[in-house]
Structure 1
Amino acid sequence: MAETETDARLQALEGLLALPAAELQPTLNTVGQLVSELLKADKVDVFLLDTSTQCLVAVGTSDTPMARLQKSLGLDRLQLANGGRAVQVYETEAPFITGRHEEDPEELPGIKHRLGARSSVMVPLPIGMETRGVLAVTSARNDFFTQGDLRFLQAVARWVGLVAHRVELVQELTNLAVKQARRAAAEELITVLAHDMANYLLPLQARIQLIQRRATRNQSVEDQRDANGAAASLRSLTRLIQDLLDVGRLDQGLFTLRPQPVDVAGLAREVASTANTPGHPVNYRGPEELVMLADPERLRQALENLVANALKHSPPGLPVLVDVQMQRRLEGPWARLAVIDEGPGIPGEQLPTLFERFARGPGSTGLGIGLFLARRIAEAHGGTLEVTSRPGDGTRFELALPEDLATSR
């Protein structure tokens, strides 16, 4: 190979890495045109696999008459099921070179006869850690490419893979930045709204209490029932607003604990009793008393969120169990509080993101913050919150808290 040709190819490789990490298709079109001019080819394609259609798609092509003809014939999309040399290179990850396409029984008729391809060099295209496509160079003349061209194209494919991977990473980072900016704005708006709504809760609670007392004094059963229902709804709204405000406090580093001796068993029994209804029984199982240092309001908040979540996903009539036990570990005693339901379970694909902020599963009507806060409360106590679930077999959330001074009886 002449020295000037070698220099030109080295400059071409350097030019590939100098391409800006912008959009993928324009970048690959530039790659195709650069290689076409360097090898004096009639067409250069950067094929990438479209997994949705199982096609090799010419995402980047040279701006040449044969490339335009290829597109008009629909040969810029190659079905894997139809075979052909490009598909073979992709599937076997082995390079291919020929100077006699018209004599090749393995090539697609459209490429041989309608496109007029006579010589080709094709190499697999690695992007990231896997083969994602094929880099193909074509000429309308027989015996046009050499083994040296094949080796050069293999080097080009590696460099093109680096460029494509860099473009994809930049696009992913850009999309992530936009998504995070939108999420941050939404979270700030939600926190402001929650703060404003909280200002109306105390007057509303006072009004409902007045109605309850009046209904009791007048012995109006219907009014008592309606007032009690309104009070229960207000408690749910208060808990939701408190959760939203706590999300904001976590972001601002203002989320604090006020630990004190607390009867965890009594607290869990009270949460279960409050949530218990004829249509959705909530049962308690555990010791009569289990005293440990914890923040009672935060612990109540975590348990209420876990029980509310269990009730939301349990069929009517099936019980939810709040199970409290003392557990001895090497590092000392732990209190284990489990909330167990007999619902449909959680699909496996949802488990990795279950405790993320605002994560919501299919059919969920909540905001997706209850489980997030419950885990953060457990972690603030130095504990853990884990889930065990299988579709059709119910769900178990287990909150474990360490406490050297914990005692039970």
Structure 2
Amino acid sequence: MTDERTESGGERRDRLLHALQSLLALPAAELRPTLNKASLVISELLHADKVDVFLLEHATQTLVAGGTSDTPMGRKQKALGLDRLPLANGGRAVQAYETEQPFMTGRLHEDPEELPGIKHRLGVKSALMVPLPIGGETGGVLGVSSAQPDFFSEDDLRFLEAVARWVGAVAHRVELVQELTKLATRNARRAAAEEIVTVLAHDMANHLMPLRARLELIQRRARRDNAADYLRDADGALASLAALNRLISDLLDVGRLDQGLFALRPQPVDVVALAREVAASMRAPGHAVEYRGPEELVVIADLDRLRQVLENLTANAMKHSPPGLPVGLDVQEQVRAEGKWVRIAVTDQGPGIAPDVLDTLFERFARGPGSTGLGLGLFLARQIALAHGGTLEVTSKPGDGTRFELALPEAPSTPQGR
């Protein structure tokens, strides 16, 4: 039996308070060192041969000793590989976890339900097992072991149940600190990377301006001299340069959004004329773009930004459309309670988008299956829609194509910007 049974009530309260104070004083740094220290504190208080803080490893459905007292039995347990207890193997620790009920015995070596390795090779005769609450749910088991029979009392069990709540709080605190640290590190890296990308994009744009001028000069000379080969090469180089300029423009737009410098230049825009222009310029052999809608429809919007959205959505639809099947570009006026709106839908008949991808489709740097870009086009398209006081939504089912729908108020009360 333990010497603690002869303690007075005041002495036991002092011992419990000392234990809780020691546990709360543990630094919220790395989980394993913190739990190892917690195990050692409990081991010394209960004069136990071993104390374990078992945590559930979800991937393998195994109770893993996240912390073990640095004692001879604790070291032997690790050497024998008994610091990992698969739920499928059963045993008293697994039982305490699965039933969420405490377990106590002074004759573990005679218990047919316990694992042979723990009884015979580790030599445990007395054991206490209590569920470990972490973050509002049972996350593991706090176990105390002794090589002596009938070593622990009911008071020890109640004491361990109280301590388990504090150990769980310590474990949860460490987990939260680790998650916050990872998040802060990730955000810092992302901010630094985005700043570098913005600076590089700005410098690249400056270097590309004289390159474009020289290519246009070569193009004019080739056209003047009827040099078909040179003209074809110049046209191809200028097309590639235009794609690179669009990419750089997207990167700079992301920087402007982050810095609050993204603004619109609203003016009357004939959406029908713009949609027809985009359909004509974007169609390619094997990929028709079919316009459907009225003959004229005017909204107050930023012409260049609206063109950017439509070109992005149309190019995206063409990329995922099977050859020979057209992309639809539909314009329609809607009457809502707050006034007149225009709805522009871009549809394809491609393979569709998986539901798990749809959730992140409009996030920056998010890319769908088969995408080779940076994942900025749809992010910027939605931001432009929001800046106009409108919306950009997507509906899609695997095997049933994809529909992007841009909705804008015809005359917003105040121009939106960021």
Per the shorter chain, which TM-score range? over 0.9
* Farther-moved stretch of structure 1 (343-352 vs 180-189): 343-352
Matches of 1:100 and 1:224 in 2, distance apart?
93
Shift of 1:186: 1.0
Partners in 1 of 2:189 and 2:133 — Cα distance?
A: 34
Distance in 1 (CA, whole Å) between partners of 2:403 and 2:18 is 62
Q: Secondary structure at the match of 2:359?
A: helix
Is residue 167 of structure 1 aligned with residue 177 of structure 2?
no
Deviation at 1:220, TM superposition (A): 4.0
Counterpart mapping for 1:2-401 below 5 A: 2=8, 3-401=10-408
Report Cα offsets for 1:363-400 as digits up to 9, x if no partner: 43211111111111011001111121222222222111
Change (3 A) 1:199 1:265: same
* Deviation for aligned residue 1:129: 2.6
Gaps in structure 1 of 5+ consecutive residues: none
* CA distances 1:318-337 after superposition (whole Å, capped 9, x unpaired): 33222221112111111111
Moved more, 263-272 or 345-354: 345-354
Asked whether the equivalents of residues 388 and 412 of structure 2 are also in contact (C-alpha less than 8 Å), the reply is: no
Structure 2 unmatched ranges of 5 or more: 1-6, 414-418
| C-alpha displacement of 1:343 | 2.3
1:309, 1:155 → 2: CA distance?
A: 59
- Aligned identity (percent) is 72
How many residues align? The count is 406
Counterpart Cα distance in 1 of 2:323 and 2:152:
73
Q: CA RMSD in A?
A: 1.8
Which residue of structure 1 aligns with residue 410 of structure 2? 403
* 1:206-259 Cα distance to aligned partner (Å, 9 max, x none): 333333333333344444433332232222122111111111111111111010
Q: CA deviation at 1:92?
A: 1.8
CA distance in 1, matches of 2:91, 2:64: 14
CA-CA distance at 1:362 after TM superposition: 4.6
2: CA distance between counterparts of 1:318 and 1:19? 65
Q: Give SS of 1:336's match.
A: strand
What TM-score, normalized to structure 1? Answer: 0.94
Distance in 2, Cα, partners of 1:363 & 1:30: 49
**For residues 220 and 241 of structure 1, what CA distance do their matches in structure 2 show?**
31
TM-score (norm: length of structure 2) = 0.92
Matched AA of 1:274: S
Where 1:365 maps in the other structure, the secondary structure is coil
Q: Displacement, 1:35?
A: 0.6
